[in-house]
């Protein structure tokens, strides 16, 4: 034992002022209970002051405080007391509520330890109080705000879903009617205007699909083992179908069955692969690699495309935020936002390594 530690404990034994300083400086109350005469219990003055009560008006009896504690918390405290008496390894430690003299609620962390005789029979109990009202009320406020926020997000997602669903039919009508009119005999100015309407309608359809997909992320709670290799086959087929003029080279790792939602993984790999092909030459190479640790699966989607300047690495994940115009590379700017939202729904992380002109690597880590 260090000499200062020895000196400290000797001071406590020899000088009551030192003990009182420790009790008053680090605790909001101390109590000492005679378990052989359970009506007898000494409560330190600081405990009563915490409740706004003059200590001189209180007797050292257990029923003095039992009238002030919330009934359900008293029941919990007595149950923990019985557990602790039966098994010393079961801690006596709980949050309880007391009524303050002014009518407010005081939250207290109450801890204690039973003192036993040589035969292990409980004789006394020593306890300590810490007032934690600010901490508890702050935590409850945050919990309430989170609940309200989650409710608002849910309502907004439902609104997005309803809007996208209701708009699909009229937009299909606009696109279909404009296609029909384009086949008729039109002057060049009218045809150019209709072509613009048709392109805008097609883009609006894509936007509605993306918004709908964003609103659905995390809605499906069911997770099951699925064949990710089949999902990647579908990704490859659809990307190649959407870019028929490009000769794509694929390098894809064989992966074991994964636990999750196959639609989420499809959308995640499809959007990253599709971007890797879109922002690329006529002969792009896409790699989809898999690795794992004890606690996570790690996926890397690697392309040899135009790359992304590091100063834009955060911006690219913002919804509808695009670095290029539609004339350069058509799109909605929702793909990476969707990927990030999917990864977040699994409490995972997405990281990017890229330089302008040197391709991109998107690394996704999802916990097992």
pLDDT at position 288 is 96
Residues with Cβ within 8 Å of 243's Cβ and at least 6 positions away in sequence, in order, are 274, 277, 278
Token pair recorded at residue 24: 């008053």
List, for residues 290-344, the tens digit of each pLDDT value: 999 889 999 999 999 888 888 878 877 876 666 665 556 565 667 788 899 889 8
Q: Parallel, antiparallel, or unpaired: how do β-strands 122-131 and 30-34 relate?
A: antiparallel
pLDDT of residue 187: 82
**Distance (Å, whole) CA 70 – CA 51:** 13
Q: Is the dihedral of CA 49, 55, 60, 65 positive or negative?
A: negative
Specify whether the CB–CB gap between 236 and 310 falls below 8 A: no
Q: For the beta carbon of residue 279, count every other beta carbon within 10 angstroms.
A: 20
Q: What is the pLDDT of residue 300?
A: 95
134 pairs with which residues across the strands? Answer: none
Predicted pLDDT at 230: 94
Indicate yes or no: pTM above 0.85: no
Looking up tokens 């034994």 gives: 13
Q: Could you tell me the two tokens for 291? A: 């690795």
pLDDT given at position 109:
95
pLDDT at 23: 66
Which residues 6+ apart lie within 8 Å of 167 measured at CB? 204, 208
* Residues of the chain under the 70 pLDDT cut: 1-5, 8, 21, 23-26, 160-161, 164-166, 215-216, 218-221, 319-333
Cβ atoms of residues 289 and 300 within 8 Å: yes
Domains and CATH numbers, the chain: 25-131 (3.30.450.20), 139-216 (1.10.287.130), 219-368 (3.30.565.10)
Contacts from 154-157 at CB under 8 Å and sequence distance 24+? 157/214, 157/215, 157/219
Which pLDDT score, from 0 to 100, does residue 219 have?
65
């Amino acid at each position: 034992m260090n000499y200062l530690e020895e000196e400290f404990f000797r001071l406590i034994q020899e000088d009551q002022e030192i003990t009182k300083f420790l009790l008053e400086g680090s605790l909001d109350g101390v109590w000492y209970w005679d378990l052989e005469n359970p009506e007898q219990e000494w409560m330190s003055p600081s405990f009563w002051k915490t409740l706004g009560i003059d200590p001189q008006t209180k007797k050292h009896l257990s029923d003095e405080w039992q009238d002030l504690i919330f009934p359900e918390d008293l029941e919990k405290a007595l149950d923990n007391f019985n557990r602790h008496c039966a098994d010393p390894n079961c801690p006596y430690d709980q949050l309880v509520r007391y009524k303050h003299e002014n009518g407010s609620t005081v939250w207290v962390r109450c801890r204690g330890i039973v003192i036993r005789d040589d035969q292990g029979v409980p004789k006394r109990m020593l306890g300590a109080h810490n007032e934690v009202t600010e901490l508890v009320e702050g935590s409850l406020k945050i919990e309430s705000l989170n609940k309200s926020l989650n409710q608002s997000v849910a309502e907004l997602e439902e609104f997005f879903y309803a809007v996208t669903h209701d708009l699909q039919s009229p937009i299909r009508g606009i696109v279909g009617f404009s296609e029909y009119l384009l086949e008729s005999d039109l002057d060049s100015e009218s045809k150019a205007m209709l072509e613009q309407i048709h392109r805008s309608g097609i883009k609006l359809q894509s936007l509605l699909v993306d918004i709908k997909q964003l609103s659905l992320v995390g809605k499906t709670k069911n997770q099951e083992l699925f064949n990710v290799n089949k999902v990647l086959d579908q990704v490859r087929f659809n990307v190649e179908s959407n870019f028929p003029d490009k000769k794509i080279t694929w390098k894809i790792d064989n992966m074991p069955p994964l636990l999750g939602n196959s639609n989420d993984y499809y959308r995640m790999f499809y959007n990253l692969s599709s971007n890797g092909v879109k922002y690329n030459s006529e002969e792009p190479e896409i790699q989809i690699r898999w690795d794992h640790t004890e606690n996570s699966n790690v996926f890397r989607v690697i392309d040899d495309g135009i790359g992304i300047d590091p100063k834009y690495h955060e911006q690219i994940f913002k919804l509808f935020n695009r670095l290029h115009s539609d004339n350069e590379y058509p799109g909605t700017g929702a793909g990476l936002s969707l990927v990030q939202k999917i990864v977040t729904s699994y409490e995972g992380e997405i990281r990017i390594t890229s330089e302008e002109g040197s391709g991109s690597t998107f690394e996704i880590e999802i916990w097992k």
